[in-house]
Structure 1
Amino acid sequence: MSLKKFEHKTDIFFDLDHTLWDFEKNSGLAFEQVLNEMQLPFTIEQFLHHYVGINAAYWDRYSLNQVSQAELRIGRIRDTFELLEYSTTTEKMLEVGDKYLTYLPNYNYLFDGALEILSYLNEKYKLHIITNGFDQVQTRKIKNSGIAPFFKTVTNSELAGVKKPDAKIFTYALQVAKVQVQDTVMIGDNLLADIEGAQNVGMDVIYYNEHRKEVPTTLPQVNTLLDIKSLL
């Protein structure tokens, strides 16, 4: 991919979870704390075996407005418990979910190269975040992981009133950042929410393809965060 595609860019927008912030690792540690504290009758490995896929499916549906935030938070726990054949009350499931969201921002592993690439880009561009996560949780993640000083603006779906891939959240983020779309690049791991969503409003994109999925060769992509140096 030629560097010329990204010449004259001034502002870089990042997704947070699964792009900079290692969601799966941090999520597993938070749930391990919850399971131990509540003395639930299964291991973290058994729980995550079912939960990871269920959670991803719920987030896809949430992004497309097919489930509410409340349905996401209870449904992913309920469906996991059903597959584990563990019967309990709705109140206890809500307690698991609430404790998880409380503990989640306390674990702040970033992907390899995250701090280095942010330091590198920060010298040449204004950096921003666009995330679908919950406002209070995402704010704590960004602060606790030490990356807050890199970003000029942070847009989340609660502030914008819509979620990626809706064009309105990208338009909102551009307005908050006070930048024209032709001067921007969006970097993210989700082909629908981050990449297609950004392209639909005219942003250039870089796909963070950590898992090396088959995608068109015309799509700018990197397999590690430090690979971004070859494009920007």
Structure 2
Amino acid sequence: MPQIKNKITDIFFDLDHTLWDFDKNSALTFDIIFKKNNVDLDLERFSEIYKPINLKYWKLYRDEKVSKSKLRYGRLKETFDALKIKVEDRVINQLSIDYINYLTEYNYVFEGTIEILEYLKPKYKLHIITNGFKEVQQTKLEKSNIAHYFSTVTSSEAVGVKKPNPKVFNHALKIANITKENGIMIGDNYEADILGALNIGLDAICYNYHNVILEKEIKEIKHLLDLKKYL
């Protein structure tokens, strides 16, 4: 198993899909807003089509190829089109607004989140680096009762660029007041979190619950509590 440096003092976590159970919370949110807007569909089928489309739009957003508003509208429009369901633009726009407004009504975190944060907190300073929209990320942290574990929160939106851009990681290191040699990044997205960190010399561990094939030199875990093997 690849080892980590013993100089680690600070740990940087991604939020969505790493600590905060985005897929579960998102599905529950869609259930609310579809009922509110009288959109009748099979939620399971919708989620199946929506998830890869949403990931595609987030990659476009990271690459500065779509705006926030285009992401919010486009991922819904493309999903409805794929399902051959006619939904008026007016309703799609309202759904995109309601989705953000209701998203933090549910705040499930992954199994092991509280236990691993309790384990790490006495030994390290903990931080968040997120590509999520700044207006909802702090609310997610607070409503899921994990905000108090973290010394700093870096929102890529506030920095002006998104992970994997080096500026995001360098900003996070700066406000944490440490050098890259003393930090490590933990996240689920290979491109944004892992390569983004490694490219500036920041160590990284992939929370690989997606079960993607990684190069053997990449540190990975399948459950958050497996971090105890490294840290």
TM over 0.5: yes
- Partner residue of 1:47? 46
Q: C-alpha displacement at 1:61, in angstroms?
A: 1.2
> Which whole-Å CA distance do the structure 2 matches of 1:134 and 1:165 have between them?
16
SS at match of 1:221: strand
What is the 5 A alignment of 1:1-232? Answer: 1=1, 3=3, 5-232=4-231
Q: 3-state DSSP class of the match of 2:17?
A: coil
What is the Cα deviation at residue 85 of structure 1? 1.8
Deviations 1:16-67 (A, max 9, x none): 0110011100000000111112221212112212111110110111111111
Greater mean alpha carbon deviation, residues 161-170 or residues 63-72:
63-72
Q: Which amino acid aligns with 1:81?
A: F
- Give unpaired runs (5+ residues) of structure 2: none
* Residues 136-190 of structure 1 deviation map (CA, whole Å, 9 limit, x = unaligned): 1111111100000000000011111110000001111111111111100000000
TM-score (ref. length: structure 1)? 0.97
TM-score normalised by length of structure 2: 0.97
Shift of residue 2, structure 1, vs aligned partner: 5.2
Q: Give how far 1:91 is off.
A: 1.9
Cα distance in 2, alignment partners of residues 114 and 125 from structure 1: 16
Cα separation, 1, equivalents of 2:117 and 2:203: 18
Counterpart residue identity of residue 182, structure 1: E
Task: Provide the alpha-carbon RMSD of the alignment.
Answer: 1.1
Give the Cα separation in 2 of the matches to 1:102 and 1:160.
Answer: 23
| AA in 2 matched with 1:187 | I
2:54 maps to a residue whose letter is N
Contact persistence 1:35–1:44 (CA under 8 A): no
| Aligned partners of 2:109 and 2:144 also within 8 Å | yes
> What is the deviation of 1:86?
2.2
Contact 1:6/1:231 (8 A) holds in 2: no
Contact 2:37 2:91 in 1 (8 A): no
Distance of 2:5 and 2:89 partners within structure 1: 50
Gaps of 5+ in 1: none
Paired residues, what number?
231
